[in-house]
Amino acid sequence: MGDDQLGEALEGSDIVIIPAGVPRKPGMTRDDLFNINAGIVKNLCTAIAKYCPNALVNMISNPVNSTVPIAAEVFKKAGTYDEKKLFGVTTLDVVRAKTFYAGKANVPVTDVNVPVVGGHAGITILPLFSQATPATNALSDEDIKALTKRTQDGGTEVVEAKAGKGSATLSMAYAGAVFANACLKGLNGVPDVVECSFVQSTVTELPFFASKVKLGKNGVEEVLGLGQLSDFEKEGLENLKGELKASIEKGIKFANA
Ligand X SMILES: O=C(O)C[C@H](O)C(=O)O
User: In 153-230, which ranges are continuous DSSP H helix?
Assistant: 154-162, 170-187
How far apart are CB 178 and ligand NAD at their closest, in Å? 11
Among 120, 212, 245, 250, the one annotated catalytic: 120
Q: Which does 147 bind (CB under 5 to 8 A by kind): ligand X, ligand NAD, none?
A: none
Residue 30 interacting with ligand X (CB under 6 A): yes
Q: Is 168 in the site for ligand X (CB under 6 A)?
A: yes
Q: Any residues with CB less than 8 A from the CB of 12 and at least 6 apart, and which? A: 52
**Based on the number of CB atoms within 10 Å of its own CB, is 140 exposed (0-12), middle (13-18) or buried (19 or more)?**
exposed
**Would the annotation count 61 as a binding residue?**
yes
112 binds, among ligand X, ligand NAD, none (CB under 5 to 8 A by kind): none
Half-sphere exposure of 161 (CA within 13 A, CB side): 9
**Residues in Cβ contact with 126 at an 8 Å cutoff, skipping those fewer than 6 apart:** 116, 117, 118, 148, 233, 236, 237, 240
Reply yes or no on whether 66 is catalytic: no
Told to check if 158 binds ligand X by CB under 6 A, we report yes
- Give least dist CB 80 to ligand X, A: 27
96 is in an annotated binding site: yes
206 is a contact residue toward ligand X (CB under 6 A): no
- Can you list the positions of beta strands (E) in 52-178? 56-59, 86-88, 116-118, 125-127
Contact between 159 and ligand X (CB under 6 A)?
yes
Q: Tally helices (H) and strands (E) across the chain.
A: 8, 8
CB-wise, 63 or 186, nearer to ligand X? Answer: 63
End-to-end Cα separation, the chain, in angstroms: 28
Q: 16: which residues sit within 8 A by CB, 6+ positions away?
A: 10, 44, 48, 52, 55, 56, 57, 58
Q: How far is the CB of 23 from ligand X (least distance, A)?
A: 6
Least Å distance between CB 2 and ligand X? 25
Q: Which CB atom, from 34 or from 75, has the smaller least distance to ligand NAD?
A: 34
Is 106 assigned to a binding site?
Answer: no
Q: Stretches 14-22, 51-59, 79-87, 154-162: which one binds ligand X (CB under 6 A)?
A: 154-162
Dist CA 230 CA 92 (whole Å): 23
Q: Which does 159 bind (CB under 5 to 8 A by kind): ligand X, ligand NAD, none?
A: ligand X
CB of 154 to ligand X, least distance (A): 6
Any idea how long the chain is?
257
Q: Which residues are annotated as a binding site for substrate?
A: 24, 30, 62, 96
Binding site for ligand X (CB under 6 A): 23-24, 30, 62, 92, 155-156, 158-159, 167-168
Q: Which residues are catalytic?
A: 120
